[in-house]
Amino acid sequence: MGIVGGYHHVHIVSPDPEAAVEWFGKYFGAEVVLREEPRGAKNVMMKVGEAILSVRTPRPTDKLIETDGSKPYGLDHICFLVDDLPGMVEQMRGSGVEIAEEIFDHSGGSEAAFILGPDNVLFELIQAK
């Protein structure tokens, strides 16, 4: 018994999933595959490349924690492989997206950058060399 394949999906909790979905469509080419309201939350499921990413409203049972901007323990970031890192970073910068960490040399000869997405979710974009 064990894990079969890669991860199934990632959920982001947002007060405005539709605005987040619009952002993911604009910058990541995300395509909505499902809109639903399971267990008291509006949920929008998207395909981002080959990954599934869902954005949902909080559920009444969620215990959300506000921070003062410092990082909490737990999930740090979500990473996507891209085919034109400099182009994506410049497009995002030109549109006002916060570049959390400029392009840097990553392990294995690749390059990466970090950007801040909707609801302060940190994304790493990585391009293999």
Tell me yes or no: is domain 75-129 CATH 3.10.180.10: yes
Q: Do 1-59 and 75-129 share a fold?
A: no
Sheet hosting strand 10-13, strand order edge to edge: 10-13, 51-56, 43-48, 31-36
Which residue stretches of the chain are H helix?
17-28, 85-94
Q: Where are the domains of the chain?
A: 1-59, 75-129
Question: Structure pTM?
Answer: 0.89
- pLDDT score recorded for residue 7: 79
Mean pLDDT of each 10-residue bin along the chain, 129 residues long: 81 93 96 93 94 91 80 85 95 96 92 94 92
pLDDT in tens, 74-83: 888 999 999 9
Domain 1-59 classified CATH 3.30.390.50? Answer: no
Question: What is the per-residue pLDDT for 81?
Answer: 93
Give per-residue pLDDT as tens, 16-28.
999 999 999 999 9
Decide: helix, strand or coil at residue 101: strand
